[in-house]
Amino acid sequence: MKKEKVLARYLEKGKNKERGITLVALVITIIILIILATVTINFAFGNNGLIQRAEDARDYYANDTSYTDESITNVESYLDEIINGVGSGSGGSGEDGIPEIPMSEAKGQDDGFTEKTIVVDNQNNKIVVPEGFKIADDSGDTVQ
């Protein structure tokens, strides 16, 4: 009987220790979870957190898109000016003081044009010839 009492006391003491360790483990776990939650919230919502970075990326994308659209519009306008807005008439000076000459005169230049020139073919089509370029002698008289 004495052995049973000693064993019962030992088991009672073991139960108390297990409860104490379990309570300490619970408190430590809660503290660790609070620390992790604080770090996670700071990482997501801090000054340089994920939310702020996503908003910055959205703004950069919007600015880049508008800049790209503006650049494309500028290039299109520039090309339209070169192709369509090059003055009128022949044998004189076109818009912006660019000289215009007939195709028959343009073929005779061996060294190329000394400045940007507009060449007018037989159908009154206008071709911009950059400085330093020339029209070959065996070229046709009209541009399709």
Cα dihedral: 22, 26, 28, 33 (round 10): 150
Domain residue extents for the chain = 2-82, 87-129
Q: What is residue 19's predicted lDDT score, i.e. its pLDDT?
A: 53
**pLDDT tens-digit map of 8-20:** 777 666 555 555 5
User: For the whole prediction, is pTM greater than 0.85?
Assistant: no
Asked if 100 and 94 count as a contact pair (C-beta separation under 8 A), the reply is yes
DSSP symbols for 7-66: HHHHHHHHHHHHHHHHHHHHHHHHHHHHHHHHHHHHHHHSTTSHHHHHHHHHHHHHHHHH
Asked if 98 and 86 count as a contact pair (C-beta separation under 8 A), the reply is yes
Alpha carbon distances (Å) from 92 to 42, 86, 101, 105, 130: 72, 12, 7, 12, 17
Q: Which residues of the chain have pLDDT under 50?
A: 87-92
DSSP 8-state secondary structure symbol assigned to residue 101: E
